[in-house]
Amino acid sequence: MHNFEFVKPASVADAVAALGRGEAQPLSGGQTLIPSMKARLNAPEILVSLTGITEMQGVSRDGDSLTIGAATTHATVARDAASDFPGLAALAGQIGDPAVRNRGTLGGSVANNDPSACYPAAVLGTGATIVTNTREIAADDFFQGMFTTALDEGEIITGVRFPIAQASAYAKFLQPASRFALTGVFVAKYASGVRVAVTGASENGVFRWAEAEAALSAQFDAEAVAGLSVSPHEMISDLHGTPEYRAHLVRVMNQRGVRAAS
């Protein structure tokens, strides 16, 4: 690991100012950034920790939405969102192991946009709003491909606002060693219809499955998607599974999610 300066600001304004100095990078839970630095794949001159910013922490309900600070850990979400949004809380409780859940954060996961991460499925599957230090971004506009988002240079996520679903669940087929999703599907039912978001399957990262959304909006039952399938084209192929295998898992996990939500 290369030498670096460590800065821990107490406010969003101070964090933004620190990020404007030299080759600086924000540090949240550090579950991706620190290993990449240890492997010398990343060498920021300045690390700007976001974990000491009180306004970026916590879970709060306002009417029909749940706002979660970007520096809130997975473990906190699993505990504090359980009564208001059990489907989201259950997803947070499936991330990694206890050590990861007590260090990793919502904002870090969403900003990194790993193609197999769990939180992007919840954000896209609920049509959440990503709140940054400068603007608000709709989930449908935020995720732009593997490890790519709509965030500008120096822009940081301060929180995410989730519309609370009438019913929701996350079904995850995990890789046992990493506990990342080989395929994970978040299903959320609203008065306006059903949203379905898939992670871990596509080379392009998280995506919505429009055909399943239409079928489930008409009939919220696992059998409604029994005859549907996604194309294996652009699905991930690795030692854990072929594109065809992951395409099959999309439907299976979707059905499991619907049954759990029901």
Mean pLDDT along residues 250-257: 98
Mean pLDDT of all residues belonging to the chain: 95
Say whether pLDDT at 92 is over 80. yes
For residues 200 and 45, the model is more confident at: 200
Q: Which residues contact 86 (CB under 8 A, 6 or more apart)?
A: 168
pLDDT of residue 13: 95
Is there a contact between 132 and 56 (Cβ–Cβ < 8 Å)?
A: no
What's the pTM value of the predicted model, to 2 decimals?
A: 0.94
- Co-location of 98 and 30 in the same domain: no
Dist. CA 210–CA 227, nearest whole Å = 14
Number of domains in the chain: 3
Say whether pLDDT at 101 is over 90. yes
- Co-location of 186 and 99 in the same domain: no
For the sheet with 46-49, list strands across it: 5-7, 46-49, 24-27
159 assigned to some structural domain: yes
pLDDT of residue 44: 84
- Co-location of 156 and 221 in the same domain: no
The CA-based dihedral angle spanning residues 197, 201, 203, 207, taken in that order and rounded to the nearest 10 degrees? -10
Alpha helices in 60-148, H assignment, sequence order = 74-80, 86-93, 98-101, 106-112, 119-126, 139-142
Range of the domain at 15: 5-49
